[in-house]
């Protein structure tokens, strides 16, 4: 069993809003030396963030590290986070949330690009020869916190204690991994010519909010297929279930590339997956998010973010020697049995999990 002292302090999941962010997704090379390098690197991350951030103390530099389901098995073995599984695809044809390769996620944030760049350089230099970068996006904060499509992004984000409530695993949910989070990422490319050809009123109906002043449309006029309607979730008691988004615009105007990097944190992947099902499959099926007529997901990955102390302790884990080993980790006969995880839900032909809503899911209390 992992001691509580190793699982309390979260990584910088709900850090300050910054002007810039780097997103790096990499795969771990298939050899024992590479796996050992990545494990040892886990103990260096916090030190590198402090060293680089010290140069500009007011720069709000932070880094969040996450591991995919396959990576966790290869690097750390048992025990494993209870709800960590491969990215679940939703939808079909051209409207599909696809899964793409990725073992390791780095989410680097700072007010200045040079801080992001320097930290990314230092982190990746220490992983040289052990990982292969499969996707790298440099995001920027757009005018008035707006996405590339012109609407304010992240308006309903939880803040303060509420942010921790919705993003950090509690002691009674998965005790071995308290203080951790789940994070889902997708890279979207937008058809800006098609989007800009729409009237503002048509755009507002697709998003479910006004474009200029960012006010949610009245329920009487907001379409059931709007982005806002399909991504608003409630539990059995009618309380809204939130996730923490830190989406960033990116692009290359000279190449006609305009996109949004979606990143959502939660204490369970279920709410984010439900949002994706509602968007790509529809609620009910066929009543899909019309924003997807102009936006295409080209990557997708689900990762577990261990607490800060646990991330550092993972450096000493070696599944080939002792699957439960970590500094200060105590084991007993009761703890040595194989950790039970939920089997992945069987997908329907359209990619739906056929769960319809979050009723019956673990309560966010």
- What is the pLDDT, as a whole number, of residue 226? 98
Task: Indicate whether this model's pTM tops 0.85.
Answer: yes
- What is the pLDDT, as a whole number, of residue 320? 76
Residues of the chain under the 50 pLDDT cut: 1-5, 322-365
Q: Are 250 and 259 in contact (CB under 8 A)?
A: yes
Neighbours of 159 (CB within 10 A): 10
Instruction: Give the residues across from 135 on adjacent strands.
Output: 25
Long-range contacts at 325-329 (CB < 8 A, ≥ 24 apart) = 326/2, 326/6, 328/3, 328/5, 328/6, 329/1, 329/2, 329/3, 329/6
- What is the pLDDT, as a whole number, of residue 319? 85
- What is the pLDDT, as a whole number, of residue 331? 38
**Residue 70 bears catalytic tag:** no
Selecting among 103, 135, 153, 235, the annotated active-site residue is 153
Q: What is the pLDDT of residues 293-328, one digit of tens each?
A: 999 999 999 999 999 999 999 999 988 764 444 443
Q: Are 91 and 347 in contact (CB under 8 A)?
A: no
Q: Are 44 and 143 in contact (CB under 8 A)?
A: no
- What is the pLDDT, as a whole number, of residue 351? 41
Q: d(Cα 85, Cα 157) in Å, to the nearest integer?
A: 25
Q: d(Cα 183, Cα 106) in Å, to the nearest integer?
A: 11
Q: What is the pLDDT of residues 64-121, one digit of tens each?
A: 999 999 999 999 999 999 999 999 999 999 999 999 999 999 999 999 999 999 999 9
């Amino acid at each position: 069993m992992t001691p509580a002292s190793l699982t309390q302090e979260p990584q910088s999941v709900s850090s300050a809003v910054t002007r810039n962010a780097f997103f790096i997704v990499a795969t771990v090379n298939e050899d024992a030396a590479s796996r050992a390098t990545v494990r040892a690197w886990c103990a260096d991350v916090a030190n590198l963030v402090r060293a680089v951030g010290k140069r500009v103390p007011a720069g709000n530099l932070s880094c969040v590290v996450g591991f995919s389901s396959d990576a966790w098995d290869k690097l750390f073995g048992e025990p494993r986070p209870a709800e960590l599984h491969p990215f679940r695809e939703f939808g079909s044809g051209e409207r599909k949330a696809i899964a793409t390769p990725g073992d390791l996620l780095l989410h680097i944030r700072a007010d200045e690009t040079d801080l992001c760049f320097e930290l990314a350089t230092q982190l990746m230099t220490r992983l040289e020869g052990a990982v292969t970068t499969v996707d790298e996006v440099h995001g920027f904060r757009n005018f008035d916190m707006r996405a590339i499509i012109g609407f304010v992004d992240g308006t309903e984000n939880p803040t303060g204690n509420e942010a921790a409530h919705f993003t950090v695993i509690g002691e009674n949910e998965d005790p071995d991994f308290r203080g951790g989070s789940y994070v889902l990422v997708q890279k979207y490319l937008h058809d800006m010519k098609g989007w800009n050809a729409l009237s503002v009123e048509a755009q507002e109906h697709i998003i479910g909010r006004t474009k200029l002043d960012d006010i949610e449309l009245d329920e009487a006029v907001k379409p059931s297929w709007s982005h806002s309607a399909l991504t608003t979730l409630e539990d059995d008691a009618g309380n809204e279930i939130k996730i923490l988004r830190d989406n960033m615009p990116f692009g290359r105007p000279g190449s006609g590339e305009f996109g949004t990097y979606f990143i959502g944190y939660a204490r369970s992947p279920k709410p984010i997956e439900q949002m994706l099902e509602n968007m790509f499959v529809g609620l009910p099926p066929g009543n899909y998010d019309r924003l997807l007529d102009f936006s295409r997901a080209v990557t997708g990955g689900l990762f577990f973010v261990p607490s800060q102390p646990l991330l550092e302790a993972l450096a000493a884990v070696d599944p080939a020697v002792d699957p439960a080993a970590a500094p200060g980790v105590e084991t007993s006969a009761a703890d040595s049995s194989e950790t039970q995880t939920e089997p992945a839900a069987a997908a329907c032909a359209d990619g739906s999990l056929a769960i319809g809503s979050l009723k019956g899911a673990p309560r966010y209390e």
